[in-house]
């Protein structure tokens, strides 16, 4: 009888432990392909836009509730609809490349991801001035005589 009670106690303890682990692992999970994008050297006024691809590796829909740049020069856009389990999408980040100098900015993503409810992605690089204007290229006038 004593052995039966001990066996039942061990069985129920194991069952509750397994159920607790299942509950902990249940939910949306956000996984990024990369968390840092390096633009390298960009010319002032050039395209400073990138995408951060992510996948919902969880078993419930992923909802991104907010995406906030560290300053007004870093503007993220994110999907407003839920991302199904196994599906991927992107967060686009645009930096104001009119500002000269080094870039080291962050974007904080807020979601219902159980593995990372607040995720920080980063952009870095350097904005350089455009090259000094070279002499303009003279185009032939349509009225000018052609040389043979």
- Spell out where the chain has E strands: 30-32, 36-43, 49-56, 64-69, 74-77, 88-95, 101-111, 118-128
6 inside domain: no
Mean pLDDT to the nearest integer, 12-18: 57
Q: Could you tell me the CATH number of the domain that includes residue 120?
A: 2.60.40.10
Mean pLDDT to the nearest integer, 35-40: 98
pTM: 0.73
81 inside domain: yes
143 inside domain: no
pLDDT computed for residue 74 by the predictor: 96
Q: pLDDT band for position 141 (50/70/90)?
A: very low
Q: Which residue has the higher pLDDT, 4 or 70?
A: 70
10 inside domain: no
Does residue 142 register a pLDDT over 60? no
Closest by Cα among 86, 83, 88, 92 to 112: 83
Mean pLDDT to the nearest integer, 5-31: 67
Q: pLDDT band for position 14 (50/70/90)?
A: low
Torsion of CA 71, 100, 40, 102, to 10 degrees: -60
Does residue 54 register a pLDDT over 80? yes
44 inside domain: yes
pLDDT computed for residue 98 by the predictor: 95
Does residue 39 register a pLDDT over 70? yes
Does residue 139 register a pLDDT over 80? no
* Domain enclosing residue 81, as ranges: 28-128
pLDDT computed for residue 132 by the predictor: 80
Mean pLDDT to the nearest integer, 108-131: 96
8 inside domain: no
């Amino acid at each position: 009888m004593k052995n039966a009670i001990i066996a039942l106690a061990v069985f129920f303890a194991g069952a509750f432990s397994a159920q607790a682990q299942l509950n902990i692992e249940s939910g949306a999970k956000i996984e990024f392909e990369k968390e840092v994008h390096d633009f390298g050297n960009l010319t002032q006024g050039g395209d400073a836009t990138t995408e951060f691809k992510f996948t919902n590796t969880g078993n419930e829909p992923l909802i991104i509730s907010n995406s906030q740049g560290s300053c007004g020069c870093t503007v993220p856009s994110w999907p407003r609809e839920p991302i199904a389990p196994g599906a991927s999408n992107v967060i686009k980040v645009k930096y104001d490349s009119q500002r000269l100098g080094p870039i080291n900015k962050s974007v904080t993503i807020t979601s219902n991801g159980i593995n990372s409810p607040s995720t920080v992605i980063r952009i870095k690089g350097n904005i350089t001035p455009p090259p000094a204007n070279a002499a303009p290229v003279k185009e032939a006038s349509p009225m000018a005589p052609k040389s043979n």
